[in-house]
Chains A and B, each alone.
Chain A
Amino acid sequence: MTRPADAVPPGALKRLAADLAAEASAALFRRGSSALTFMEVCGTHTMAIARFGLRDLLPPEVRLVSGPGCPVCVTAMGDLDKVIALARLPEVTLTTFGDLVRVPASHSSLAAERAAGADVRVVYSPRDAIEIAAGEPARQAVFAGIGFETTAPTVAAALLEAQARGLSNFSVLSMHKTMPPPLKALLELGETDIGGFVLPGHVSVVTGSACYEFLAREYGVGGVIAGFEAHDVLQALLALARQTRPAIEIGYGRAVRPEGNRVAQRLMAQVFEPCDADWRGLGVIPGSGLRLRDEYAAFDAERRFDVEAGQPLEPRGCRCGEVLRGVLDPAECALFGARCTPEDPVGACMVSSEGACAARYRFRGIDD
């Protein structure tokens, strides 16, 4: 038996936190500001920070806000409605990753559609969707693809496998997105004074670090790619506070190379091309999405099925958009913990386990 404490030497985190406090004061003096706001971009970081209770360890002058890195949360209402419309087609078996099933769309959710008779199946990998297509040739197996550079290559690989196996009843509704464009969009908006980014670890395994260089070069905002242990996150914050000149650093060297994973990048580029994409909270961001290239049009659910989704309808009072931009703290939303809970979520950020609201609610302080 081991205990989680085995992972970190005793006192190491406390020392990191103390170092962070010292560096933060120095950084504030240097920058001539009163608070240091860092944004953790990735949903997995959001969850780790909440689960470890890291906010308790931060010095008061360091503020940590969540960014647009939870794939389910940033999926736009219009896209969700499209998924629902596809699921309602009698010939379609709709496959997707788990969290998407419970997200409220304008008028329904996949869970509600499933209960009403739609064939909706949760898969753990896009390859499972291919096996469904192979095993049930009379059905149309549609994979609703969400996620960033971490999941897109696996979907590309699955699609190529479907092509090689001649599975003409497999298709993908690509709602995939890429990570750098929304960071640019956030800085362009300038709503929050972001002093540095804790950059996503898993995404960066694929992308490498070079794609973030523009943050430092063009916007003067540094970033540190971080792993997912408590000390990884604290070390990233410490490195950010220590930066005297904005730079992009790799704080997750055990997994991330500057050039990234070229095989995964090639796979992604072979199957997908950039397109404009609609983000919950951020709107349409040019070049931030991934659509199937024309060569793979036969596997594009959007082109195969003629589905019409009506005008998207956002839930009343839901402020997920502001949460995703780091403008609003989840607890500041009037619905948080009252009308909107993980059992009965109003907005997407309360559904996904990586959503800022769900993470904050599930791992709230005992006195909150």
Chain B
Amino acid sequence: MTEAGKRGDAAGPGAAGATPGGRILLGHGSGGKLYRDLVRDVFVKAFANPLLERLDDAVALTPSGRIAFTTDSHVVQPLTFPGGDIGRLAVAGTVNDLATAAARPLALAAAFIIEEGFAVDELEAICASMAATAEEAGVPIVTGDTKVVERGACDGVYVTTTGVGEIVVGHELGAQTVCDGDAVILSGGIGDHAVAVLAARGDFHFSADVRSDCAPLWSLVEAAVDAARDVGEEESLHFLRDPTRGGLTTVLAELAEEAKLGIEVEEAAIPVSPAVRSVCDLLGYDPLTLANEGKMVLVVAPETAEALVAALRVQPLGRDAAQVGVVTSAHPGRVALRTVYGTRRVLDMPVGELLPRIC
């Protein structure tokens, strides 16, 4: 028996038939038997749940409240990095987008664009990671789609996840509800995801003891909502956003612009791990502009801030939560950073590609 055949057997009954040679073939995208086998042996097996097992083109959900709906595509390279992989990223990304609307995730759909020749065991590993992350977030993956493209037409695998969630608060969240005096809270240290991926990519010839923070944040947001309720002011929670691409700086700069208010940020209050800091020093990056995949920015009324930070800190994903800034009616549309040196400057959105300095 060939190596590939053994791999197929190891994947479980029927897998050998689904994946001759242990590689994705163009035929897997054809809609025929190979395709059905792939769906059954890889996706249904990984994401097992009654809704998915019906293999309907659409599933019926019966939420009781208001609905949030979002989608997100994931094209990360390398596919696996310390602390995560494209599968974990794809599930966490969409769960976190729902969480920014204070929505409990109800169901996810997953669409795969796979390059011809991609190893099936690698696909299975990605699906296992998605399944584990979805379980962590308490959400089933109930439907999906698969396309196979010719070798070279995509880079391994791209994963798009779409999510539906049930909004658990009665009021509107968003920049328009943010007020002068509101507290800006950050759920933990920043920059870990970007640095972990950069290091795994190997372009910079450095190794860093940094793991991506990639994680689904619904439990954290739920704790924040509960904390606001306990204080008696659910409406005091005004704004939630996850600082992914563009980092904390981009979230705050966009918020200031949308809310037509200013924000004062304390650099000294922003948690950054020593490893992230040293990579930033080396390559000339600003940690405030680096991507995160497991952090949340929360803007709340000042009287709720303390209770909320305390509630976040007892959560495993919010241990380093801290208030990092305050909303002000001074300098509307702009974010001011008070540096650790006591100086003050504007925080501007980063421009263009992330590039290391050369000198």
Contact = CB atoms under 8 A, between A and B. Distances in A.
A151 B344 contact: no
Given A53-B344, A54-B343, A3 B271 contact: yes
Contacts of A7: 340
A125 interface: yes
Given A353-B284, A364-B346, A365-B346, A98 B341 contact: no
B232 interface: no
Place the interface of chain A in its size category: 35 or more
B241 to A, nearest CB: 21
Contacts, number: 118
Given A97-B358, A147-B359, A52 B339 contact: yes
B61 interface: no
Interface string B332-348: 00101001111111101
A128 interface: yes
A38 B284 CA distance: 24
A1 B273 contact: yes
Interface string B196-220: 0000000111000000000000000
A89 B313 CA distance: 58
B341 A2 contact: no
A150 B359 contact: yes
A53 B341 contact: yes
A4 B355 contact: no
Interface string A35-55: 000000011100100111111
Contact of A99 (B273, B345, B348, B355): B355
Nearest to B203: A124
Contacts of A365: 344-346
Interface string B246-276: 0000000000000000000001111111100
Interface of A: 1-5, 7-8, 13-14, 42-44, 47, 50-57, 69-72, 97-99, 102, 122, 124-125, 128, 146-148, 150-151, 202-203, 228, 230, 342-343, 353-354, 361-368
Interface of B: 189, 203-205, 267-274, 277, 281, 284, 286, 320, 331, 334, 336, 339-346, 348, 351-353, 355-359
13 contacts: A1-B271, A1-B320, A2-B272, A3-B267, A3-B271, A3-B340, A13-B341, A57-B343, A122-B355, A147-B358, A151-B359, A353-B355, A363-B345
Q: 6 smallest A-B Cβ distances: which pairs?
A: A53-B343, A98-B355, A1-B271, A56-B343, A366-B336, A5-B340
